[in-house]
Amino acid sequence: MSAQQFFFIVTAFVILFSAMMTVLSHKMMHSALWFVLALLGVAVIYALLEASFFAVVQVLVYVGAIAILIIFSVMLTRKAMEDTGSPVNKTWVLSLVIVLLTTVGGFLAFRTWGALKAFPADLLPVHYDIGELGLALVDPERFALPFEVTSILLLAALVGAIYIAFGRKEDNQ
């Protein structure tokens, strides 16, 4: 087993363990911190896939913004969950059964997928230039439309979040 494979297995275990602890933690803050660790593990996976730009953007956007947002809102709503005990709701048995069945079914379907053998096990070398991605995003024949639509989505989300967070405050005054 080569060093890269060993590294991948360690990172995969870290990600899955942190994700499980996110689901099962009793305190909300611990859950948020395990979530941060899972996101950092995913950034390492992106770096293993030689998508370095996405690794850095994952740390910048997910860890540096979304995770901090989640931690902030956990802090703002701390009083609501301090004394109630269980982190899971009443239907946890049924949900666990469904997810386990899906896992088993997924594995069985995966093993019988013939096309899997067709993918090369060794990575062919890719010359990856970040400028190429930038050019593709603004080229009208390639990906300018998703880019522009995404920016409109961001604008809508920004305006919506400000209105939701702001408008109610004036109401309560």
Partner 1 sequence: MIPLSWYLILSGLLFLIGLLAVLIRRNAIGILMGVELILNAANINLLAFWRYLYGYNGDLRGQVFVIVIFVVAAAEAAVGLAMIISAYRRKNTIVANDIDLLKG
Partner 2 sequence: MTFIADPITFITHWLTQLMGGWGWSATLIQVLLNILGSGILVLGAMVFTTVLIWAERKLGARFQDRPGPNRVGPWGIFQTIADMLKIFTKEYITPVGADKIPYNLAPALAVAAVLCVWAVLPFSSTVFGTNIGIGLLFIIGVGGLGEIAIILAGFGSNNKYALLGAFRAVAQLVSYEVPMVIVLLIPVMLSGSMGMNDIVAAQSVPFIVLAPIAGVIFFITLIAENGRAPFDLVEADSELVAGYNIEYSGLKFGFFFVADFLHAFTSALIFSTVFLGGWQGPGVENAPILGFVYLLIKTLVVYFIMLTLRFSLPRFRIDQMMNLNWKILTPLALFAFMVTALVNKLLPAGNNLIRIGGLLAVNLLLWFITNWALSRFITNQPRPVVSGARPVAIGEKKTVVKEETSA
In the range 66-95, which residues lie near partner 2 by CB under 8 A?
Answer: 67-68, 71-72, 75
Build a one-symbol-per-residue string for 92-131: x at contacts with partner 1 by CB under 8 A, - elsewhere: x--xx-xx--xx--x---x-----x--xxxxxxxx-x---
Q: What is the DSSP letter of 26?
A: S
User: What backbone phi and psi angles, to 5 degrees, belong to 12?
Assistant: -60, -40
Report which of 71, 14, 70, 72 is spatially closest to residue 43, judged by C-alpha positions.
14
Residues 20-79 that bind partner 1 (CB under 8 A): 20, 22-23, 28, 31-32, 35, 38-39, 42, 45-46, 48-51, 54, 57-58, 61-62, 65-66, 69-70, 72-74, 76-77
| Binding flag, residue 88, partner 1 (CB under 8 A) | yes
Q: Which does 26 bind (CB under 5 to 8 A by kind): partner 1, partner 2, none?
A: none
Q: What is the DSSP letter of 65?
A: I
For partner 2, the closer CB: 12 or 47? 47
What CA–CA distance (Å, rounded) separates 18 from 33? 9
Report which of 121, 128, 130 is spatially closest to residue 4, judged by C-alpha positions.
121
* Residue 173 Cα to chain centre, angstroms: 37
Q: Which does 50 bind (CB under 5 to 8 A by kind): partner 2, partner 1, none?
A: partner 1
Piece of 58-66, 105-113, 135-143, 144-152 that binds partner 2 (CB under 8 A): 58-66
| Binding flag, residue 173, partner 1 (CB under 8 A) | no
What CA–CA distance (Å, rounded) separates 154 from 148? 10
Q: Which does 33 bind (CB under 5 to 8 A by kind): partner 2, partner 1, none?
A: partner 2
Q: How far from 65 is each of 19, 41, 60, 69, 168, CA to CA, in Å?
A: 19, 16, 7, 6, 24
What CA–CA distance (Å, rounded) separates 59 from 18? 16
Site residues (vs partner 2, CB under 8 A)? 29-30, 33, 36, 52-53, 56-57, 59-60, 63-65, 67-68, 71-72, 75, 128-131
